[in-house]
Amino acid sequence: MSFVIRRVFSRLPALVCASVALTSLCGIAGCDKETGWRTHKFEEKTIKPKAHDVQIPEVLWQKIEALTSGGAGGAAAEGGGDGGGSAAKPAAGGHEATAAKSEHGAPAAAAGESPSSSVQRPPTNFETIKVYLIERNKGVLKTGDIALSFPNGGGELDLSDFVEPLRGSFYVVFEYLPAVEKPDTKVFVLSQAVSRKIGKEQVGAGCDVFMDVSKAVADAAKGEGFLVNTSDQRHISALAGTYVFASTHDGKLHLSSLIIRDSNHRALQCRR
């Protein structure tokens, strides 16, 4: 599998409400409670390796590189199994979406200038990732509870392959091989969900807004997971985006990415 991460110049919106982004789903999912989701009987599915091109803003890549001590290296990427290397080309500029609070307590994003950088990527290992989809309402998932194993470096999850066109709810849990619960593991999401209104409810974080959802993802893994609802395709607005999982060990950057999309509802998502 060829896994390419590209640093791109992205002009982020000045203020975008992220009312249904992952950072606000934790409260809905009951993340503080211990649960037995691991005892569920899952259908196991291994996702075959295929090339995927991950584009992230320069400022986000700088945050990922900063996790390693020293920050520079430029050595070739390493990885086991079907994983592949990636080359990140330097790109000047970039705008950062920093977390803020809206009047309703939901995270919002504000733009800010970031200095240019052409720092080489540190030595990198590509890791595996596993995603669990767990029914709250029977029949909402095509296969019932399912565990999806992605190869080294991650891959793409098309929700339309697993979610029935029915009203209901299901949980989502992310499992990153170097342990998503570890304090040094960072999880960022670059939203690709168009911001829209359903009645008076604002859903979708908006295009090119990125957030640090490390704590929310870790808490969800300890609890029941993220609870999402399929009514009016709310699950797409809550989940669509590029997820980057990063941790460090022995001076190396351990990395995986996951693109979540829905090929049947492209209008609800940003550019592809």
Rg of the chain on CA atoms, in Å:
18
CA-CA-CA-CA torsion for 30, 35, 38, 40, nearest 10 degrees? -90
- Of the candidates 154, 165, 164, 160, the one whose C-alpha atom is nearest the C-alpha of residue 187 is 154
- Of the candidates 210, 204, 158, the one whose C-alpha atom is nearest the C-alpha of residue 8 is 210
Tokens of 268: 């609800």
C-alpha distance from residue 58 to each of 65, 97, 117, 126, 162 (Å): 10, 12, 8, 20, 33
DSSP string, 107-173: EEEE--B-----PPPPPEEE--EEEEEEESSTTSBTTSSEEEEE-TTEEEEEGGGTB-SSS-EEEEE
**Other Cβ atoms within 10 Å of 134 Cβ, number:** 21
Report pLDDT for 125: 86
- Of the candidates 190, 19, 237, the one whose C-alpha atom is nearest the C-alpha of residue 96 is 190
Report pLDDT for 181: 65
Report pLDDT for 36: 74
Tokens of 7: 């640093």
- Residue 51 CA to residue 71 CA, distance in Å, equals 26
The stretches in the chain having pLDDT less than 50 are 1-3, 7-21, 23-34, 70-119
- Helix (H) or strand (E) holding 12, with range, is none
Query: What's the pTM value of the predicted model, to 2 decimals?
Result: 0.73
Domain boundaries, the chain: 10-268
